[in-house]
Structure 1
């Protein structure tokens, strides 16, 4: 376990106070077969279960009886066949002792616990399930069909988990910094390999290998592509071409689930062209603006629009946008170039707690989500607090199909110079992303080593690499 027994006990006590009453079920993950039962994908524990119980074994459920002030770790003991194939592991009782849980029970007893609570008219709390096997387990225990489980999930439990996990402790920040250190190695590996003729797949495989060699895994499917205008472009067999840009969006996840997430956009030839410099400088300045404006008490919504305002003004200077900046922002014209939000929360999930509902995590009564294209993809918008970790990832993209659609429909034509924009349809996209910790008085980037991103730094790094 990453943290002390006392930490897990304190987390569960805080959860109980926030939930108030009822029976809380926190489902750990099961092994997920790739193509037959004994050939499973790499195991990843559910983040909420891991946060409160700290155990990595599959097939466990944490039960907290808030009214009776009892906790039970539910799971079956391994048998001799498990030992033969996978080696000896800790008993369920040993795991319970390790995280400060007072009782254990076999999985066969879980149904009786739940049914007893339901018959007594007590609320049974569970989080929205994201795996089908967990959905079936919940249906077997409660009778709630999988199609109804998201709406039946406990809002008090969702809100309690979000409140506790949003603010990272010093120990958690240290673990995120460790993920950032591995992310640094991944990205400098990609930059060193970024040459004409190298395939996207070769680079993607190499950087994933860096994460695995460090005893970790990628925090999401690594993005390595010359088509930076595609938000989630998976590595392909394409060879990198001189004169174009390579966008690499990748991060590491430690074996305690804590993540990093960075993006760099590298010139394949070793030097940015003037046109690339014009666009890159805007993205770089937008990225750096966050350090000046993000601090406790400021809404991330406002930080997002500060960045969009700067981007719009600079695109006007290049002749790509026109008209009044504030009117253009209200109309959402900037979303042609930035169709996503400035960033998201990050922690034990790379999009932290997104499975609990984007609106629940990123918004509150004061800040509500927008339905406008682009702004609707702002995953996080509420007031910043010390200990929050968010990503800072502005970008500018030239998406041919989107440009064609808006031009054909005359969408926001009073703010967009389509004649000039047409000249950039072969450009691709640029994104720069780093992970930001909100401090008591401001914010700072996470990671002791900075992945080069200012243009002169990038070009110098590429000039000095070996080979």
Structure 2
């Protein structure tokens, strides 16, 4: 945990956004796997962590704007609990750790809220993403669990997004630590990309590194020789010489901040000329996109720049044709680059996605496109100093998508379908780094993980 003054300051900043009302933050509860006592690894709600810091289940935090008071509601452990779990802190002690003066049993939360509602106090809460929380909050507020999310506070969402989007120095330090873990993970994957091993061998190794150095992985790693599937979580394939291995993996620091890196590795340690040609296009797109990053630039424009470079590279190889700018405007590049360039990152690897992408990545001046590919861009709005996000262009040859577009002769003025067939079984390439927007430009966070062709090949043989 951070020093308690950090949490006090965060809550004070949030409180300034409201003239009245009560701000409610539900912490997460334990979630059973297959019977009540056998639970998934506990992960606290990120907004609760941001304002109340405690990675412990069965808690709720309240900021009472009208009375200028803060409360921690939770579970007071019994002697029976201590027999199984060992000595546990008192609720008042937990509250003191994060600078909260008032604490009470979670069993009294409903009565507390009911009293406030009866006095006409507005209860602000964030959207819920766990079904049991819909039931819990509906019970606390005597509401319909199927409709409770409709009453999530837009004002609170916008205030939390504005605050959490700009990372403080202590947060950057945590992300940097998570990236050091990612460095160990990805360089290990590069050394392990040997014919005969399985994707699962690497998956297991990377999970072990993340657990030994931090709080585990920040998301289920994507480790696949079928890199044309963007989020491929199957790890049962055997690595074969000549295949490309897409490794998209990151870790959480001990304070739950994320890293998210992708590298594409040639199985056996050597890119073929064809693989190198495509790889260099992706790398050039990423480098140029990163060089554009500074406050005031719209991220959608960074995305479109990367898309034009990808289109130009594919035109040079004869896979696409025509003018790169016109091809991107028509959406032809999305056959090969069907996702957005990046997403915000912090306490969540897709930071604050549960609060709604329309608030995190878009605003009143930036509306989401309906064009295939561009519609998946998670971050489009103007960049500000303190933002941390990913930059991850890619090129993919997805047989099912190729077949659909080819059958419809879609955008045939920009796509050479005969040439595309030569790459049908190519797979995919993605390169991803994590970027901080500084006052005048950008910083690529973390120790540089090999990504130049020669460096990736050398990492395969590194001791």
**Shorter-chain TM-score: what band?**
over 0.9
Once residues 330 and 126 of structure 1 are traced to their aligned partners in structure 2, the CA distance between those partners, rounded to angstroms, is 40
Q: Which residues in structure 2 correspond to 1:156-195 (within 5 Å)?
A: 156-195=155-194
Cα-to-partner distance string for 1:356-378 (whole Å, 9 max, x where unaligned): 00111000111111111111110
Partner of 2:245: 246
Residue-by-residue CA offset, 1:172-218 (whole Å, 9 max, x unaligned) = 00000000000111111111110000000111011001011114210
Partner of 1:73: helix, strand, or coil? Answer: strand
Conserved? CA contact 1:436–1:445, under 8 Å? yes
Question: In the alignment, what sits opposite 2:138?
Answer: 139
Matched, 1:341 2:340: yes
Contact 2:214 2:252 in 1 (8 A): no
Equivalent-residue separation in structure 2 for 1:91 and 1:412 (angstroms): 65
2-structure distance, mates of 1:160, 1:49: 14
Aligned partners of 1:71 and 1:102 also within 8 Å: yes
Contact 1:204 1:235 in 2 (8 A): no
Distance in 1, Cα, partners of 2:438 & 2:287: 16
Residue 128 of structure 1 pairs with residue 134 of structure 2? no
Unpaired segments ≥5 residues, structure 2: none
Q: How does 1:320-339 map to 2 (within 5 A)?
A: 320-339=319-338
CA root-mean-square deviation: 1.1
Q: Distance in 1 between matches of 2:250 and 2:244?
A: 19
1-side partners of 2:224 and 2:457: how far apart? Answer: 19
Measured after TM superposition, the shift of residue 147 of structure 1 is 2.5
Partner of 2:280 in structure 1? 281
Gapped regions of structure 1 (runs ≥ 5):
none
Are 2:422 and 1:460 aligned?
no
Cα displacement (A) at 1:306: 0.8
Task: Return the offset for 1:16.
Answer: 1.2
User: What's the CA shift for 1:260?
Assistant: 0.2
Residue-by-residue CA offset, 1:245-293 (whole Å, 9 max, x unaligned):
0110000012321000000000002110011011000001111112311
Q: 1:62 touches 1:71 (CA, 8 Å); kept in 2?
A: yes
- The answer to whether structure 1 residue 423 and structure 2 residue 407 are counterparts is no
Q: Secondary structure at the match of 1:173?
A: helix
Q: Distance in 1 between matches of 2:18 and 2:424?
A: 52
Measure how far apart 1:303 and its partner are: 0.5
Residue 290 of structure 1 aligns to a residue whose secondary structure is helix
The answer (yes or no) to whether the contact 1:258–1:347 under 8 Å persists in 2 is: yes
Verify: 1:304 aligned to 2:306, yes or no: no
Helix, strand or coil for the counterpart of 1:64?
Answer: strand
Instruction: Give the corresponding residue for 1:42.
Output: 41
1:299-352 deviation per Cα after TM superposition (whole angstroms, max 9, x unaligned) = 111100111111111111111111232222121111111111000000000000
Q: Which residue of 2 aligns with 1:258?
A: 257
Aligned to 2:23: 24
Do the aligned residues in 1 keep the contact of 2:320 with 2:414 (CA within 8 Å)? yes
> What are the residue-to-residue correspondences of 1:70-85 with 2, within 5 Å?
70-85=69-84
| Cα displacement (A) at 1:143 | 2.8
Partner of 1:149: 148
Distance across 1 between alignment mates of 2:146 and 2:285: 42
SS of the residue aligned with 1:238?
coil
Q: How does 1:306-455 map to 2 (within 5 A)?
A: 306-447=305-446, 449-455=447-453
Instruction: Look up the match of 1:223.
Output: 222
Which portions of structure 1, spanning 4 or more consecutive aligned residues, are displaced by more than 3 angstroms?
none
Q: Distance in 2 between matches of 1:89 and 1:159?
A: 36
Residue deviations 1:396-444 (CA, integer Å, cap 9, x gap): 0000000000111122111111111111110000000010011111111
Are residues 1:86 and 2:85 paired? Answer: yes
Q: Shift of residue 12 of structure 1?
A: 0.6
User: Once the 2 structures are TM-superposed, how far is the Cα of residue 77 of structure 1 from its aligned partner?
Assistant: 0.5
Does the 8 Å contact 1:19/1:160 carry over to 2? no
1:8 aligns with 2:4: no
Give TM-score, length-normalised by structure 1: 0.97
Cα deviation, residue 237, structure 1 = 2.1
Q: How many residues matched?
A: 463
**Residue in 1 aligned with 2:32?**
33
Q: Which SS does the other structure have where 2:246 is aligned?
A: strand
Task: Look up the SS of the partner of 1:63 in the other structure.
Answer: strand
